[in-house]
Structure 1
Amino acid sequence: MIGLLNVGSLVIGLIAWLLPVVGLMQSKKNDYIIWGLLSSLSLSACAIALIFQLYYQYHLVNIEDWSALMDTTGAVIFAATVLLVVTVLLNILTLIVFRKRLQIARSKTIGQD
């Protein structure tokens, strides 16, 4: 059961990356509520994936598996850093795209008045 934390962390981490990509693919529809929802879900999925890793590390400490802890901590830190940085960058990119779309939509609306 505890081993599923690693699999769950990987799957949820991939979801954290896919949600902003889906938002970028939907950017032509100018649906800003969906963008906000996808961005929030993406950041939440990233946090859940990181928490799963913390729980797994905590489990290794509780069972006193020091060799596993020493062997995996470096990789966990690297993977967690990559997950967080890529998730934040994807969400910032999505924010930039939607802000430009919003500015274009507003300028068209103002030009029609």
Structure 2
Amino acid sequence: MIGWLNLGSLVLGVSAWVLPAINIFRYEKQSKNWITLTIMSVSFCTISLFFQIWSFYERVKIEDWSALMDTVSIIVSIPAVLLIGTILLNAITFFVYRNRT
């Protein structure tokens, strides 16, 4: 179960960064669904962070303390990078498209 949560978190985290990148690169083509992709990006980031919390909970539930001690620094730092990156990419998207609508 923990492996699937980590894989799902990784896939959704990458998607959270790819969607705003698509918005930025499609600026010249007058993309009309940029708001939808931005909302999806923030949603994917949120779900990815939830999967990380759930993974942490599963480790606590089975009392895998050594795994928790080994991975707690990653469990704190990587989601912070994901969150900051998602916010920055979506902010760039907003500033690029703000005069288009």
- 2:58 aligned residue: 59
- 2:3 aligned residue: 3
Q: Superposed, which structure 2 residues align to 1:1-113 within 5 Å?
A: 1-32=1-32, 34-100=33-99, 102=100
Counterpart residue type for residue 22 of structure 1: I
- Return the alpha-carbon distance in structure 2 between the equivalents of residues 54 and 98 of structure 1: 33
| TM-score, normalization by structure 2 | 0.94
8 A contact 2:16–2:44 mirrored in 1: yes
Q: Note the alpha carbon deviations across 1:50-103, whole angstroms, 9 max, x for none.
A: 000000000000000111111111111100000000000000000001114x28
| TM-score, normalization by structure 1 | 0.84
Task: Output the aligned Cα RMSD.
Answer: 1.3
Q: Which has the larger radius of gyration?
A: 1
Counterpart residue type for residue 27 of structure 1: Y
List, as ranges, runs of 4+ consecutive aligned residues in structure 1 with deviation greater than 6 Å: none
Q: Aligned residue pairs: how many?
A: 101
> Which consecutive unaligned segments of at least 5 residues does structure 2 have?
none
Other structure's SS at 1:64 match: coil
Counterpart residue type for residue 15 of structure 1: S
- Displacement of 1:29 after TM fit? 2.5
